[in-house]
Amino acid sequence: MATVDPVLRVDGLTLAFGGVKALNGVGFEVMPGSITTVIGPNGAGKTSLFNTISGFYRPVAGRVEFEGQDITRLPAPQRARLGLARSFQNIALFRGMSVLDNIKLGRHCQLKTNIFQSLFYLGAARREEMELRADIEARIIDFLEIDHIRHAPVASLSYGLQKRVEMARALAMQPRVLMLDEPVAGMNREETEDMARFILDVNAEWGVTVLMVEHDMGLVMDLSDHVVVLNFGQVIAQGKPQEVQSNPEVVRAYLGSGDVSELRERLRTGRARASGAAADNGLQPGASAGGGTPPLSEVA
Ligand SMILES: Nc1ncnc2c1ncn2[C@@H]1O[C@H](COP(=O)(O)OP(=O)(O)O)[C@@H](O)[C@H]1O
Ligand SMILES: [Mg+2]
């Protein structure tokens, strides 16, 4: 069997906040073309992991490799330029600016001329600006079905649409790996289904590798090729979704030593119900509770 190199590899990643180790020797690989999902209870270290991989946090130990290159010490914008783009758990858009302008800001990290020059439409900057606009309009806006809101200020949009715009901005960076931190958190069922379809299409049709953090177990089970489970800053299990869902340590991490039959059922069916203990453990938060994600055949 031919061996394929991982597009992203983290090894021994350790991050401390004061005395607290948010990450403690985290290691896993993301294969090119895959949808890899990081799950784990609230406080497990998922967002810290994302921030460390994308360069917002500096680890005290360990290594991040992107396409074979050690990027552990590279500043965040340079990682983005290499092809590592991300969205945020809490939306980080310029709320007063239009959808289009927000998306263009994502693309600007790829341009030779800087944003201030191109704002003045001078020479090469102007040509780049026009190409940029055409590229964005033709591909991303169309793909994400946000044509009708391109001139709307972000602040006027629903939460689900804002999440979609954030994805558009990340895609405008033409990433090879797209990192999504809780892409469907706070979304209703319809928005969740739309986002699931976009993630699948970005992966399948555009060939973008996806690394995401997600709580919605239906989505995780339907979309993921590979699941990495974090608990207390450590990888406690990883593998195919089916392998992970039957791993006793994973079940324990979510529910302590209590009754796990309900969690098993939910993981198996991918259908979630808002119910006390599991919700408190961050398994199924917010608006997606009760809906879950249907099989992909229904989504597509
Ligand atoms: N900026 C920070 N300063 C101090 N502690 C933090 C910070 N960010 C996260 N932590 C701590 O690190 C741990 C992991 O948090 P986080 O990565 O947000 O988990 P998750 O995204 O899995 O819910 C938690 O104990 C959290 O309190
Ligand atoms: Mg988080």
pLDDT digits (tens, 9 = 90+) for 26-78: 999 999 999 999 999 989 999 999 999 999 999 999 999 999 999 999 998 89
pTM value is: 0.79
Going by DSSP bridges, is the β-strand pair 20-30/177-181 parallel, antiparallel, or unpaired? unpaired
Q: What is the pLDDT of residue 256?
A: 56
Q: How far apart, in whole angstroms, are the C-alpha atoms of residue 289 and residue 115?
A: 41
pLDDT, residue 100, reads 86
List the beta strands (DSSP E) in 153-264.
Answer: 177-181, 209-213, 226-231, 234-239
Encoded tokens for 61: 């130990």
Give the chain's mean pLDDT: 80
At 186, the pLDDT band (50, 70, 90 cuts) reads confident
Q: Can you tell me which atom of ligand 1 is nearest the CA of 50?
A: 17
CB 193 within 8 Å of CB 171: no
- What gap in Å lies between CA 262 and CA 274, rounded to an integer? 12
Q: What is the pLDDT of residue 240?
A: 96
Quickly tell me which residue has 């608006």 as its tokens: 287
- CB of residue 48 inside a 6 A radius of ligand 1: yes
Rg (CA), the chain: 19
The whole-number pLDDT of residue 93 equals 81
CA 181 to CA 196: how far, in whole Å?
14
Question: How are beta strands 69-70 and 61-66 bridged, if at all?
Answer: antiparallel
Say yes or no: CB of residue 185 within 6 Å of ligand 1.
Answer: no
Ligand nearest to the CA of 90: 2
Ligand 1 center from residue 233 Cα (angstroms): 9
Question: In the chain, pLDDT over 70 holds for what percent of residues?
Answer: 74
Query: How far is 198 from 202, CA to CA, in rounded Å?
Result: 6
Task: Give the tokens for residue 14.
Answer: 């350790």
The minimum-distance atom of ligand 1 relative to the CA of 51 is: 17
Fold for the domain defined by 8-83+175-299: Rossmann fold (3.40.50)
Could you read off the pLDDT of 159-169 as tens digits, one per residue?
Answer: 888 989 989 88
Q: Which pLDDT belongs to residue 252? A: 83
Note whether 164 and 99 are within 8 A (CB).
Answer: no
Residue-range domain boundaries for the chain? 8-83+175-299, 94-171
Tell me which of 208 and 130 has the higher pLDDT: 208
Backbone angles phi, psi at 58, to 5 degrees: -100, 120
Distances in Å between the alpha carbon of 175 and those of 30, 70, 145, 287? Answer: 14, 18, 19, 29
Comparing C-alpha atoms, which of 85, 64, 49 is closest to residue 178?
Answer: 85
Is residue 92's pLDDT more than 90?
Answer: no
**239 pLDDT more than 90:** yes
Count CB atoms within 10 A of the CB of residue 252.
14
- Compute the average pLDDT of residues 244-251: 88
pLDDT tens string 211-233 = 999 988 888 999 999 999 999 99
Ligand 1 atom at minimal distance to the Cα of residue 49: 17
- Residue 277 clears pLDDT 80, i.e. is over it: no
